[in-house]
Amino acid sequence: MSRKVAISRDDRFLLHKTGHAHPESPSRLASIYRMVDRHFAGTVTTMTPEPATLDQLELVHTPGHVKKILKTAEHKITSMAPDTPVSGHSYLAAWLAAGACMQGVDLLLSGACRAFFSLVRPPGHHALPDRATGFCLLNNLAIAARYARMRYNLERILIVDWDVHHGNGIHDIFYREPGVFYVSSHDLMLFPYSGEAGDTGEAGGRGFTLNMPLSRSFGDGDMAYIYRTVLTPVFRWYTPSMVMIAAGFDAHADDPLGRSAWSENAYFLLARLVCELADADHVPLLLSLEGGYDPGANAASAKAVLEALVSYAPAGPVPAPLDPNAADELLETVFTTHKPYGIVS
């Protein structure tokens, strides 16, 4: 038995040029497209995105920031931030990436599919309302979450971010809002050096941000154990109307920017877990590609995720944790921090 899965893809994402040897290159997405053609042709529905409108972008971003991105069309190559080069077609790729995520919201809520994977670039989870940073121009999932809440009146959206870098943009945008619960696992020693376990939200959003700073000793089994232990009570307590995943693949052991020890099987296990929890309450699932800078690891990881999305078959045995003591220490910190808000193991 298979789950109905759709993807968004477009060769125009490859027109976003970042210069020689920059890690956020077209090859990281092109490798995924080739993998999809080899392994999922006829299995997943392929959609072509439409660019987001200015009004949709301004659900999250300031008009000034949107105008700055548009002006980059005048240059063969320029920079939005020291680490974020752009080219003349980058604005279009960014508009399409945000549009692809909103397309996913529409298709999921129409019942056309059960899971939707936006295979896009540039990534988005670092982008702030008024500036680009960390290779990200627009915050694709934040725009999609605001769109879903405003257009469809969704009360509770859960965003799970398993990119090895903390998604400071998503974190900050929704830090005071209870309508979006943000869960992030990340390496604190990597850019943007944020996302402490004690950062739980402010004002009405207090308790709706859950950060998990990871040990570099963790492998696939540790991550499966940690995520199952955390997400099960989060789903039970928050009862999300939609789940979104910031699907970065840069915790893979082969990634040149991450410093982690995951294999592609970790992403299979995490995706299968989220599918299991979402299916139990018939919750739609939207994924969007974030980081991941080794083309081969990206393709293998995306393949693992798509396999988890498509099939209802059992996941099989989970590897034993490599560092169970550190995993238990992290879980103790998470639940001690969030018990006052009602999340208990």
- Give me the residue spans of the domains in the chain: 5-341
Separation CA 3–CA 20 (nearest Å): 40
**Mean confidence (pLDDT) of the chain:** 98
Q: Are 264 and 213 in contact (CB under 8 A)?
A: no
| Catalytic annotation present for 126 | yes
For residue 271, the tally of other CB atoms under 10 A from its CB is 25
For 82-207, where are the alpha helices, taking DSSP H only?
90-110, 140-152, 168-173
pLDDT over threshold 90, residue 314: no
Global pTM reads 0.98
Separation CA 41–CA 48 (nearest Å): 15
pLDDT in tens, 180-193: 999 999 999 999 99
Architecture of domain 5-341: 3-Layer(aba) Sandwich (3.40)
Q: Are 301 and 250 in contact (CB under 8 A)?
A: no
Q: What percent of the chain has pLDDT over 70?
A: 99
Cα dihedral sign, 223-224-229-232: positive
Residue in 126, 171, 186, 252 annotated catalytic: 126
pLDDT in tens, 131-173: 999 999 999 999 999 999 999 999 999 999 999 999 999 999 9
